[in-house]
Amino acid sequence: MIGKIPLKNRMIVVATNNEHKLREIREILERFEILPAKEFVEDFNPEEIGNSFCENALIKAKELKKYIEYPILADDSGLEVFSLGGEPGIYSSRYSIEGTDQANVEKLLNRLKGKKDKSARFVCCMTLIVGERVIKREGYVYGRIIDQPRGENGFGYDPVFIPDGFKVTFAEMIPLEKNKLSHRRKALEKIRIELEALDV
Ligand code: ITT
Cα 133 to Cα 65: distance, rounded to the nearest angstrom: 12
Distance 16 CA to ligand 1 centre (A): 10
State the Cα–Cα distance between residues 161 and 127, nearest whole angstrom.
25
- Tell me which residue has its CA closest to atom 7 in ligand 1: 93
Per-residue confidence (pLDDT) for residue 17, from 0 to 100: 86
Q: What is the pTM assigned to this prediction? A: 0.94
Q: Which residues of the chain fall short of a pLDDT of 70? A: 1-8, 199-200
Report pLDDT for 196: 84
Task: Measure the CA–CA gap between 195 and 179, rounded to whole angstroms.
Answer: 19
How confident is the model at residue 7, as a pLDDT?
61
pLDDT at 6: 55
Q: Find the residues whose C-beta lies inside 6 A of ligand 1.
A: 16-18, 21, 48, 75-79, 92-93, 104, 122, 154-158, 170, 182, 184
Instruction: Output the CA 7–ligand 1 centroid distance in Å.
Output: 27
Cα–Cα dist 9/7, whole Å: 5
Nearest alpha carbon to residue 175 among 194, 159, 153: 153
Q: Where are the beta strands (DSSP E) in 66-118?
A: 72-81, 87-88
Catalytic residue among 75, 76, 101, 158: 76
Q: Ligand 1 centroid to 156 CA: how many Å? A: 7
Arch. (CATH architecture) of 7-198: Alpha-Beta Complex (3.90)
What DSSP line would sit under 131-155, residue for residue?
TTEEEEEEEEEEEEE-SS---SSS-
What does the pLDDT look like over 142-172, one tens digit per residue? 999 999 999 999 999 999 999 999 999 999 9
For a substitution probing ligand 1, which of 19, 21, 145 has the most ligand atoms within 8 Å of its CB?
A: 21
Cα 98 to ligand 1 centroid, rounded to whole Å: 15
The answer to whether 75 is a known catalytic residue is no
Residue nearest to atom 19 of ligand 1 (CA): 156
**Which atom of ligand 1 has the smallest separation from the CA of 178?**
27
pLDDT of residue 8: 59
Amino acid 4: pLDDT: 45
